[in-house]
Every structure is written in structure tokens, then in C-alpha cells.
Amino acid sequence: MRQTLVIQLVIGALACLSVLVVEAEDPYRYFTWTVTYGPISPLGVPQQGILINGQFPGPRIDCVTNDNIIVTVINKLDQPFLITWNGINQRKNSWQDGVLGTNCPIPPQSSHQYRFQAKDQIGTFTYFLSTLMQRASGGFGGFNVYSRPMIPVPFAPPAGDFTLLVGDWYKSSHKALQQTLDSGKALPFPDGILINGSPKSTSFVGERGKTYMFRVSNVGLSTSFNFRIQGHTLKLVEMEGSHTVQQVYESLDVHVGQSVAVLVTLNQAPKDYYIVASTRFTKPIITATGILHYSNSHTPASGPLPIGPTYQVHWSMKQARTFRWNLTASAARPNPQGSFHYGAIKPARTIVLANSASRINGKLRYAVNRVSYVNPDTPLKLADYFNIPGVFNLNTILDKPTPGSAFFGTSVIELPCMTMWKLSSKTMRTPFNPGILMVKSSGLLGEYGNNQWTAALRNRYNLYDATTRHTVQVYPNSWSAIYVSLDNKGMWNLRSSMWARQYLGQQLYFRVWSNERSLYTEYDIPRNAILCGKAQGRHT
């Protein structure tokens, strides 16, 4: 009898434990997206756009930190494509990154399922088609990660929030723009700038006296913009997953690939006010407008548009230096515990990357440390996993720039997992456009500077509360320095977010590596992984 009672108690305890395990699993959110062509006319001219579930821009993903995201994508285009989740950390899971170095593209008339977790992140992100020049026709959307109730954020809950996807736009199709680049020419000047798919009249409604969050992302191809709201100030509270020291601005520069979240209090007379986004570092300046509509307003927006900065690069750099990380916030953070004191961590390696524009075989190409990247037929991650030789080697690109002509190559830099490294990036010498680097693992932005970077400039870095960002601007004829903690094993893309430059070779990959093969450091290859090139026919 006593033995039977003990067995029952053990079984009961195991049953309770299993219930706890089941209840402890994070929620799942399922999405099914059909990607098609469809008619759009954002600038008044009929175009063939890329739609997701018939929408332009695409549907927004709203989730809670640590949610599991399952997105089934059905390709109804005439081209293969991938979707990348811009800023989502993909912990231990570069298999889901959605770029050609990690994944084979989804063939036309087929489907694929992305499975990943929005792990330890709270903030404002985006997604977009990462292959060819397809994002020039649509296929992008917002991706907002909210906090769980037990994780407080450093501001009172807003009365609501609005997602604004802002970017430059062309009347030409993505195929026509790609042909321009393939012919050796640069992209022409954009035809306009859009806010949520429209150059004007997008309306956002709120009640007087209440505070709202505006999540603003630059989803364009090449152009930075300045964002402002007539008669209202912007309190910056978050950028790309990092809560910031809350400072108030009249306007904010947002560079290609970047996202910010601001709080706006509707404390003015009840009427309509202009929301303005205007291009930066361009001549001429292009402007898009929306409307902030007070719910009891009967007066349309009027008066001149609020004036933003013009060309001044120094103004933008000075503003960027005011962004500070909120070290007292208790919310989820995009970097490992301990990196809050990153200034006391000795970098294991310093890499200096010089971006350049040149001609190879008579055609315009962009390069990093002289190497203009070419995508192999076999994704780098698959070649690495299956030990397939001849796809890439680790000697193509050097840690520091050297003199000489640019050449084609497949650039991969190996870095040991669980180390701290420092990257200094120098912009190509173009007079008007900054270079924008997208860093897949969130980086601590150390400092900006003019002219050439030297080791002596390390003394001026902010080593206390620099913000973490996944996309870092590099101003014309200038440099930016970032620190990155290599805590996420995988094959990760470092690229220009100015998409024509990425397409023409301004990118490379980091192989963050350890010999340990364990689910604690990296997930196994997904069973549904698409195999192509030399990996075709292998078993997952």
C-alpha cells in the first residue's frame, strides 16, 4: 500500500511538472501570407506593385516579446524571393534570417514556412523582401514587439500607437530599376516619398490631452528623411529595441533601415496638424505629408509646413550624438547581460571596413575593403553546415582596407563566438549620400566622426551609454564605430541598407563560430529548409 502511494505521488508530481512545462511555453502566432503582383498608384501613376494578402504596404505583425512567430508564405510572383525580419535577433537561428547567404529563395508557385521567436526584444522593427530589387515595388511592413505585463517599460502606456512606414519611391518597377543597375548605371533620383504608401493625406486620429506613440521606420531604398509634426514635440523613447534616455526633439532624422518610437501629446488646439517627412542630404528636397487629426477637430490643417533641417550633415551628426541608452529600464534588452558595462570589456578584435564605389568591367559596383560581394549559388550557411567546399573561403577579405582596385568575391569573416569585437566603418567618398550599414547582431554605437578614422579617436568614444541599434548611419566622408558582442552563433549578413549598393556588392558575412554543436548554442537546420545549388539532394 505504501509503495503504491509513493508511485502515485511520483506520477502526480510528474503530471504537475508536465502541466507546468506546457503552460511555460511561449505563445504561438500564426500568419499566412500570399505574395502577388497587383495594381497600385501611390504617386498617381499606375504601377505593378508587390502585395501581401492584397495589401500595400503589407500586413503588420504585432506580437509580444518571446512569442513564437509562424509565417507561411505563398509565392505567386514570377521570381523567387526571401523575406528578412529587419532587426529581429534570431537567437541561435540564422536559418530564419531570410537572406541569400543563409537561405535558398522560395521558388515561384511554392510556399515556405518561417518559424522564429521574437526573443528578449521589445520595440519597433520591419520586414521586407530581401532578394534582387523587389522591395522597390512593395512587400514590406511593420513588425512591432510589445512587452509582457511583468516587464515594465519606462513610460506610461500610451492611449494608442501608430505605425508609419516612410520611404522614397520610384514610378519605375523593381525589374526596370534592376536593369538600370545591371547596365552599370546608378539609380536615378527618387520620384517621391511615401507615408504608409501615400505621399499625402494619411490620417492619424487621437483625442486631445492624450499621449500616443508614433513608430516611424525608414523603409526606402536610399534616402534618409527628417520627421516632424506641426505644433508638437517628439519624445524619443525607443529605437530598434533599445529604450532611450527620454529627450524631446522638434524633429528627428531617420536613416534607411532605421526605426524610432516617439511619444506625442495632443496638447494643442483641437484642429488638424501636418505630419511631415522630408528627404535629407538631397537636392531637391522631396516631402510627404500626413494628418494628425484631433477627434473633435472641425478645422483642416493649414499654414506653412514646419521647417526641417536642410542639407547640414553636421546637424544630423550632432543630433545622433544626443541619443543615449536608458540604463535603468528593466525591459527586455537586445544584448547579453553584462554588456551594459561594455566600456570595461576589452575588444578581442578590431575590424576597419572601407566602403568604396568603383567600376569593374566597365560597370558600377560597390565594395567593402575592395571586395564587391557576389552571391554564390549555394547559400553560405548551407555550405558551412554540409561542409561543401569551394563556396567560400575565409581569406577573401581582410580586416583592414588596402590600396588597389576592387574585385569580385564572396566575403566571409570568421569570428569566435562569445567575444567582443569593434568595427569602424568609413563611408565611400560620395558627396551627398551617407552609407548605411545594417548590423544583424545589435551593435553598441560608439561614436561618429569626420574624415579618416584613426586609433587615437578611440579616446572620444561614448563607452557608457551608447545606444544599441541594428542599423548604423555612416555620414559622407566620415566614419562610425560600433561594438558588437558575438553571442549569437550563425552566419550573419552585414550590408548596406541603401539597397542598390547592397545589390551591387556592398555587403559581406560574419561566420560567428564555435566548435560546440549543441542546441544551447544553435538550432539544427529546419526540416523544411529549401536546398539549392551544391546542397540540393542533401538530407536535413
Distance in angstroms (rounded) separating the CA atoms of residues 101 and 413: 13
290 CB-contact burial (10 Å; exposed 0-12 / middle 13-18 / buried 19+): buried
Query: How do residues 318-370 score in pLDDT, each as one tens digit?
Result: 999 999 999 888 766 654 444 567 788 788 888 889 899 999 999 999 999 99
The helix, strand and coil proportions of the chain, stated in percent and rounded to the nearest 5, come to 15, 40, 45
- For domain 153-329, give the CATH number: 2.60.40.420
Which pLDDT belongs to residue 365? 97
Rounded CA separation 473/218 (Å): 12
**What per-residue confidence (pLDDT) applies to 438?**
57
How far apart are the C-alpha atoms of 28 and 532, rounded to whole Å?
29
For residue 116, CA distances in Å to 98, 238, 407, 516, 522 come to: 11, 23, 36, 22, 13
User: What's the confidence (pLDDT) of residue 430?
Assistant: 33
**Averaged pLDDT for residues 516-532:** 92
Lowest mean pLDDT among 20-24, 49-53, 437-441: 20-24
Where does 342-535 sit in CATH, by number? 2.60.40.420
Report the C-alpha gap between 133 and 125 in whole angstroms. Answer: 20
Question: 19-151 belongs to which CATH class?
Answer: mainly beta
All cell numbers assigned to 163: 505605425
Same topology, domains 153-329 and 342-535? Answer is yes
| Buried/exposed 292-304: b ≥16 CB within 10 Å, e otherwise | bbbeebeeebeee
Give the distance, in angstroms, between the CA of residue 386 and the centroid of all CA atoms in the same chain. Answer: 29
- pLDDT band of 524, cuts 50, 70, 90: very high
User: What span, in angstroms and rounded, lies between the C-alpha atoms of 506 and 185?
Assistant: 16
Q: Mind listing the pLDDT tens digit for each residue in 24-49? A: 689 999 999 999 999 999 999 999 99
Burial environment of residue 43 by CB neighbours within 10 A (0 to 12, 13 to 18, 19 or more): middle
Distance CA 463, CA 441 (A): 18
Q: What is the pLDDT of residue 482?
A: 87
Candidates 11, 35, 236, 66; CA nearest to 141 is 35
Looking at residues 155-182, what average pLDDT do you find?
97
Mean pLDDT of the chain: 89
Label residue 416 by pLDDT band (50, 70, 90). Answer: confident
Give the model's pLDDT for residue 9. 34
pLDDT band at 433 (very low <50, low <70, confident <90, very high): very low
> Facing residues of 468 across strands?
444
Q: Enumerate the domain spans of the chain.
A: 19-151, 153-329, 342-535
pLDDT (tens digit per residue) in 367-410: 999 999 999 999 999 999 999 999 999 999 999 999 999 999 99
What pLDDT is attached to residue 439? 56
Q: Note the pLDDT of residue 337.
A: 43
Whole-angstrom distance, CA of residue 235 vs CA of residue 247? 6
The set of long-range contacts for 318-324, using a CB threshold of 8 Å and a minimum separation of 24, is 319/249, 319/252, 319/253, 320/253, 320/448, 320/473, 321/447, 321/448, 321/462, 322/247, 323/236, 323/239, 323/244, 323/445, 323/467, 324/244, 324/245, 324/247, 324/465, 324/466, 324/467
* Assigned C-alpha cell, 125: 522593427
pLDDT, mean of residues 259-283? 97
pTM flag (> 0.85): yes
Q: What is the CA radius of gyration of the chain?
A: 24
pLDDT computed for residue 340 by the predictor: 62
Least confident of 303-312, 438-447, 457-466, 518-527: 438-447
